[in-house]
Amino acid sequence: MAKVKEQEIPSINLLGSGTTVKGDIKLIGDFRIDGTLVGTIDCKGKVVVGSSGVIEGEIICQNADFSGQIKALVKVSELLTLKESARFSGDIVTSKLAIEPGAKFSGSCQMEANEHIQSEAKAK
């Protein structure tokens, strides 16, 4: 009997303000963080860090918008946007980077082709 493969439906996930999570998170959909995460996020969608959000660790995703405080190694296969209130410290590997006036960035940035970032993330 043939197995019927269930279609994976991307979802929107939220880590609310006042919540702290320590550990690794792997997901297919989008993820918004208004709380604190210490660990790794491996996301097939978009990661949004709100102005009250704090991340320490590693972020691997397709797209990202950062408004909060991030201290991490970040690998974004498409577009990373540092919003005006963002406070970023760490290393970035991305295809495209947008930094709004007022955002703080301390670290290194390596611009690479989308395919290279995706294959590097899959190797982990």
How far lies 35's CA from each of 3, 40, 55, 114, 121, in Å? 40, 14, 8, 29, 25
Rg of the Cα atoms in the chain: 15
- What per-residue confidence (pLDDT) applies to 25? 95
Which domain covers residue 85, as residue numbers?
12-123
| 103 within a domain of the structure (yes/no) | yes
| 6 within a domain of the structure (yes/no) | no
Whose tokens are 């860090």? That residue is 49
pTM (2 d.p.): 0.84
| 4 within a domain of the structure (yes/no) | no
- What per-residue confidence (pLDDT) applies to 112? 82
88 within 8 A of 66, measured Cβ to Cβ = yes
- What per-residue confidence (pLDDT) applies to 12? 84
- What per-residue confidence (pLDDT) applies to 77? 95
pLDDT digits (tens, 9 = 90+) for 73-119: 999 999 999 999 999 999 999 999 999 999 999 999 999 876 656 55
- Residue 108: name the closest of 122, 123, 84, 88 by CA: 88
**DSSP letter (8 states) at residue 23:** S
**DSSP letter (8 states) at residue 45:** S
CA distance 31 to 4: 28
| 54 within a domain of the structure (yes/no) | yes
Domain count, the chain: 1
pLDDT digits (tens, 9 = 90+) for 22-70: 999 999 999 999 999 999 999 999 999 999 999 999 999 999 999 999 9
| 39 within a domain of the structure (yes/no) | yes
| 37 within a domain of the structure (yes/no) | yes
| 73 within a domain of the structure (yes/no) | yes
CB proximity list for 113: less than 8 A, separation 6 or greater: 95
- What per-residue confidence (pLDDT) applies to 8? 61
- What per-residue confidence (pLDDT) applies to 23? 96
